[in-house]
Amino acid sequence: MNIMAQQWQRISGQRLDFALLLPAIALALIGYVMITSASMDVVAVKFNDPFYQSKRQLLFMVLGLASLVVCLMMPVDVWHKQSPWLLLLAVLLLIAVLIPGLGRSVNGSTRWIPIGPLSLQPSEFAKLAVVAFMAGYLVRRQDEVRTQFSGFLKPLVVLGLFIVLFLLEPDFGAVVVMMAAVLGMFFLGGMRKLHIGAVVVAAGALGTMTIFAAEYRVKRLMTYLDPWGDPFGSGYQLTQAQIAFGRGGWFGEGLGQSMQKLFYLPEAHTDFVYSVLAEEWGAMGALVVVALYGVLIVRGLKVGQQAETLGRQYSAYLAYGLVLLIAAQAMINIGVNLGLLPTKGLTLPFVSYGGSSMLACAGSLGILLRISLENSIALKQPYSPSVDERQASASQDNGIQDAEHWFEDELGHSQGGIHEH
């Protein structure tokens, strides 16, 4: 409690970054309205309560608000110091979800751990742990990343482990989002374009092999190329989504007037909520959602850029990674709904139904708000390490470094503290 009081005292009087906060709130409110609209008829039959999903989403939003506040109160230095342990926790949770009897399977994927009436999806938080760890790696190995290809090869040990665990669920979408965010972080961290190009080509080749290694992925790809070839079979979901967009026109059928949500479009309140939104609110409503993401993403990148200008490298790379996670997932989900990409099973950040997604997105927003606040404080006063930061740096010289060495596959290499300047 004393720590929380100290943090509150430190940030009190500072203005929140409304350019980050307001678009996210707007997206969450739009999502709540659309989840209610998209799910009412289905859950009225299934659970005898038309507001079953909307009540649960309201709970998720309250939990998300709590997640945002906790992350807002947490100094960025804490994420830096604890990132190796967060990475280890993420690995353990991803392993736990694969244990028979512990993980829960839905539609052939084992991605959830039941916790009472709710479920935890570890992959949502694992992506955040990877970003937090990679931000620290970029700070410690910046020169190597900018000059040598080996600067990217070393963290492949960590990335490879997470890719394997994601594919075992299977969750190919999480792999794509994670790799897009990490590659973006390394690009913004100064990695040479030639090296980035080589990684992209290698990742593309590996992704192609992964697709053709599983029959259902090949079928999904063929369906994407020609969904109308089997509109009542494998192409059913994509064709129904396209029908929803077609019915919506420019200005939509009106709130609650969607036909596709009436047992036609599967996962109408989760992965394909954007299609229902386009049907009810039209292309103009769909573009408003894209614009809100645009404002959130651009502002998030500017927060990272400002941190980098102030010499707060870890905060900068962490901000870049979190924004890229949101951007990649939003772009893929919208692309799938439009029929531009194969189905991936990814939620639309802040909008789709889901507790783990809301907690992860709200937590990411809280961290971004914290980075923005610390930027504002740094602009008003010369940089001077706080007592907490000095203590954090001292602890890093002990056990934390050992964990980092183990994860980076750099045993035996002695490092200084990872304290942010």
Any idea where the domains of the chain sit in the sequence?
A: 17-75+144-382
Look at residue 406 and tell me whether its pLDDT is greater than 60: no
421 to each of 2, 149, 206, 303, 418, how far by Cα in Å? 25, 26, 38, 16, 9
Q: How many residues does the chain have?
A: 421
**List of E strands, 28-100:** none
Cβ atoms of residues 320 and 304 within 8 Å: yes
Cβ atoms of residues 366 and 71 within 8 Å: yes
Sheet with 109-115: strands ordered across: 104-106, 109-115, 118-120
Per-residue pLDDT tens over the stretch 83-113: 999 999 999 999 999 998 888 887 777 888 9
3-class state of residue 395 by DSSP: helix
**Element at 109 (helix H, strand E):** strand 109-115
3-class state of residue 44 by DSSP: helix
341 to each of 60, 206, 237, 395, how far by Cα in Å? 28, 18, 13, 46
pLDDT of residue 5: 56
Compare 405 and 42 and report the one with higher pLDDT.
42
pLDDT of residue 30: 96
Cβ atoms of residues 328 and 181 within 8 Å: yes
As a whole number of angstroms, the distance between CA 220 and CA 255 comes to 31
pLDDT of residue 147: 86
Half-sphere exposure of 8 (CA within 13 A, CB side): 7
Look at residue 400 and tell me whether its pLDDT is greater than 70: no
Tell me what the mean pLDDT of segment 62-67 comes to: 96
Angle of helix 355-380 versus helix 76-96 axis, rounded to 10: 160
3-class state of residue 407 by DSSP: helix
As a whole number of angstroms, the distance between CA 326 and CA 345 comes to 15
How many CB atoms are closer than 10 A to CB 244?
26
Tell me what the mean pLDDT of segment 75-80 comes to: 94
Tell me what the mean pLDDT of segment 170-180 comes to: 91
pLDDT of residue 388: 43
Compare 276 and 227 and report the one with higher pLDDT.
276
